Amino acid sequence: MPKNERYVTKHPRGWAVQAPGGKRASSVHKTQKEAEKVAKQTVSNLGGGEVRIQGRDGKWRDSDTVAPGKDPNPPHDKRH
């Protein structure tokens, strides 16, 4: 089964939801929170996986496993 991932990244028009290796954004949103919500819904519809969130500085600031995906660090990931 392929790994389902989506990235939330800074975009000139706001925040983008993008598939890994994708050249274009799947969607663009005004706020990071909106983009994160759409990314999680997309991954959930695909059967679960990871959503990685990039900060304004370009560094990865957070990631979240969307059920029914397997969390790589279940006992330590208590943020979500």
Q: Convert the pLDDT of each residue in 27-61 to its tens digit.
A: 999 999 999 999 999 999 999 999 999 999 999 99
State how beta strands 49-54 and 5-11 pair: parallel
**Domain-embedded: residue 40:** yes
pTM: 0.81
- Is a pLDDT exceeding 70 seen at residue 17? yes
Give 71's pLDDT tier (boundaries 50, 70, 90).
low
For residue 28, tell me if it sits in a domain. Answer: yes
Total domains in the fold of the chain: 1
- β-sheet with 49-54: strand ranges across: 27-29, 14-18, 5-11, 49-54, 60-66
In a domain, 79, yes or no: no
Cβ-based burial of 39 (10 A; exposed 0-12, middle 13-18, buried ≥19): buried
48: containing domain = 5-66
Domain contains 14: yes
Residue 77: inside a domain: no
- Is residue 74, in this structure, part of any structural domain at all? no
